[in-house]
Structure 1
Amino acid sequence: MTSHQTTQTMKPATAAKKLGVYLEATPAEFQEGVVSRTELNALQTDPPQWLQELRLNGPHPRPVVAAKLGVSIAGLARGGVTDALTTEQIDALKQDNPEWLQKERATQAEVRKEAVRIKEKNAQSAEEPKDKRS
């Protein structure tokens, strides 16, 4: 019996997500085809001009927008941001610093602080002896 190695492919949406770009802003040939694992690796290691431009100026998908603003994706939605934004629009939002953005950044900071507290508590619990009856 011989084994046949098939090329692993993915939908353009999956590839765009892995590349951190907004699918609708990619070239038509990217959107309409399938992307092999080899092609994805090539795009990541040696990005073409269109990919470099998208990563630099956008429009950016919501996870990237959220990260650049320091909020969660849900926080974006609560702030009314449901579409992809360009780097220029993100910078303008940072400059304007609306009340919703301040609130969501504070919320995100609390979430991070709580995550650190829980991690430290779990690490401390792991160090304690399992059986205290000795």
Structure 2
Amino acid sequence: MVTPERIKDCPPPWSDLKANVLICFARSSSSKGPQKPPAASYHDLEETTSFSEMDVVGGLQICVLVEYLDSPVGRYYELLWIPGAFNLPKSGKQTYRATRVYVSSRHSVYNGQKYWNVPKAVRESNHTGGE
């Protein structure tokens, strides 16, 4: 019988992380005023929740790929999608926010949701990194 691996509880701060990072930028247009983020910016289950009600007001679209070589939860991969700047409902201030975060580690999902309120989901990866 296979026993499931116990999830590591790793509270912040996470220091001395070692990672390879690739960041890609694209400019989004705000000339049309606030608008919904591009298709697939949210998971299907999030599209109808309050999490997805904010409009994008422009700025940069950002895709971040991270290969964590060493972290409190071990080695894992992460992909973040930031569709642009959003207006915060209460203050009206603009800020960037990741609407999709995929990782290759259940430990990262658990700690990201618990300590940073990051909407992470596990996705299998066949990437082998620089090995």
More strand by share: 2
Structure with the larger RCO, 1 or 2 (CA within 8 Å, 6+ apart): 2
TM-score with structure 2 setting the length: 0.22
Higher Rg of the two aligned structures: 1
TM-score with structure 1 setting the length: 0.21
